[in-house]
Amino acid sequence: MKVLISDNLPDICKTILESADIQVTTKTDFTPEELQKEIGVYNGLIIRSSTQCTPEILESADNLQAICRAGVGVDNVNVPAATKKGVIVMNTPGGNTTSTAEHAITLLLALSRNIAQACNSVREGKWERKKFTGTQVSGKVLGVIGLGKIGKEVAKRAIALEMKVLGYDPFISNETIPQLNVQLVENLDEIYRQADYITLHIPLVNDTKHMISKGELEIMKDGVRIINCARGGIISEESLYDALVSGKVAGAAIDVFEKEPPENNKLLELDNVLPTPHLGALTKEAQLAVAEDAAKQMVDVLKNNIVRNAVNMPVQGSDELQQLKPYTALTEKMGALLRQLVRGRIQSIDIQYSGGVSKDNIRPLTDCLLVGLLKDVLAENVNIINARILTDERGIKINEIISSATGDYTNLIFARISTDDGESSASGTVFKNNEPKIETINDYRVDMDPIGHVLILLGQDKPGLIGEIGKMLGDQNVNIGHMTFGRKETGGVAMIVLNVDAVVSQETILSIEKMECINSAYMLKF
């Protein structure tokens, strides 16, 4: 395994990787063209904020399994392109949480007390106490936009300063609300109208680009103060400048800019702007923490197949992944089975989850079924990251159904593939030993182990049939390890499932299909 560290990180990152027998290259001066040329040999890439993972670079990353951003934001990674390529994109949200939250509070207090301006005045030999009369934060209203890890920590510290905290986050769970001691608002306008201070803790995405612009600033209270330790571009710098000049906004503390470092930025001309050079996570403790987290997460992915803090993967925690593992194995096997049975162009996939498994996170289960269905068919590398995208691109409809009814099973997963030439279906479950079992194929009860080589026959139920088949396979030196026999009625069409120790030759399969009582034969491989 090879990992590239393309931005400056503490040595602990390289040390952890090498201790796991991973080859590490540290090179921080790649041009985009050079990185595009070299990236193909690496299995992992660890970055900070300087490296830009563009679609062009990702297209050349044929062996890349994972990118880990040592920090929170991943706006320097084209996540859709990485996802389509099947590359896991991770961040390290916990490592710099405290440092960034402390910086936001530092800026809030410094902005309130004119610390930077007063400091410069004293250095110039002045003593202008009245000029730098400040504002007390106790009793003021702080609006926190984004209640992720950092936003929550900022809220905690603001409450300790006796501020009233309003929070906005459309994705926060109801269970978290009582723990925060924060008054949640339904829309941003409530924060804009009520807050004396506003602090931003959200990512820069299409929906948040210039989220705060002229219209939003006009709604805000006169004399509002704004702190941005998140990402440049969330606030329109032009609109903010006008609001600062007019006095609508009393002051702004800006740690991040649309262009870094800022050049010819009018905000830097204003006395009521407190700029810092993207210092939010820049403490010794945070740098060590994110470097260590990034290395450990990369080792887990490459060596242990454990994914943490992925921004483009439905399973986020190793505990959840471990719990779902028997069922992801089952659904991938079901996908592989149906891929080998179906004929024609796939139109749609119906998947029904019944019983206890229906209460789990079903998305990765469906994604694993898609992996099994597509991985030996498409030219692209298919995995749980890109399977759904590749399915969508081909116009295949996916229908996921939740049901409480299980019949004879505690858990049951049913899948039906519809093509322009008919349908094929299968159901499966996981027993106490965590081994997957295929219970039905096209409504025939088979109780099949989806392992190794499997020969499936459809034919008339008649005496001596199994003996004839066994003799033909024996003549070819193919041993039968296990057999199941499913039928819907005596004397009708039956399904014979044979787990065999070797591949049955195409010639032998054709000979079997020529038998008067055999309708069809399928040689499957798992």
Q: How would residue 374 be classed by pLDDT, with cut points 50, 70 and 90?
A: confident
386-423 pLDDT, tens digit per residue, is: 788 888 877 889 999 998 766 677 889 999 999 888 89
Q: Under DSSP, is residue 290 helix (H, G, I), strand (E, B) or coil?
A: helix
Let me know the angle formed at the C-alpha of 78 by 72 and 81, rounded to the nearest 5 degrees: 135
Structure-token pair, residue 275: 């700029």
518: which strand partners? 459
* pTM of this structure: 0.62
Closest CA to 369 of 402, 418, 417: 417
User: Can you give the pLDDT at residue 161?
Assistant: 97
What distances in angstroms separate CA 84 from CA 90, 173, 328, 398, 441, one per listed residue?
Answer: 15, 29, 20, 18, 32
Asked if residue 257 has pLDDT above 90, the reply is: yes
Higher pLDDT, 511 or 162: 162
CB contact at 8 A, 253 and 224: no
Q: How would residue 139 be classed by pLDDT, with cut points 50, 70 and 90?
A: very high
User: Can you give the pLDDT at residue 206?
Assistant: 77
Q: Which residues are marked as active site?
A: 231, 260, 278
Arithmetic mean of pLDDT over the chain: 90
d(CA 248, CA 255): 20
How is the chain split into domains, by residue range?
2-94+285-304, 97-275, 315-450, 451-526
CB contact at 8 A, 416 and 427: no
Which residues are within 8 A (CB) of 284 and not within 5 positions of it... i.e. 6 or more apart?
A: none
Q: How would residue 24 be classed by pLDDT, with cut points 50, 70 and 90?
A: very high
Q: Which CATH code fits 97-275?
A: 3.40.50.720
Asked whether the domain spanning 97-275 has the same topology as the one spanning 2-94+285-304, the reply is yes
CB contact at 8 A, 368 and 351: no
Q: How would residue 249 be classed by pLDDT, with cut points 50, 70 and 90?
A: very high
Q: Strand 164-168 vs strand 141-145: parallel, antiparallel, or unpaired?
A: parallel
> Does domain 2-94+285-304 fall into CATH 3.40.50.720?
yes
Annotation: CATH topology of 451-526: Alpha-Beta Plaits (3.30.70)
Helices (H), 259-317: 284-304
Q: Which CATH code fits 315-450?
A: 3.30.1330.90
Q: Can you give the three-state secondary structure of 386-406, one letter per residue? A: CHHHHHHHCCCEEEEEEECCC
What distances in angstroms separate CA 295 from CA 5, 231, 302, 355, 385, one per listed residue?
Answer: 10, 24, 11, 39, 21
Residue 77 one-letter amino acid: V
86-99 pLDDT, tens digit per residue, is: 899 999 977 888 99
User: Can you give the pLDDT at residue 465?
Assistant: 83
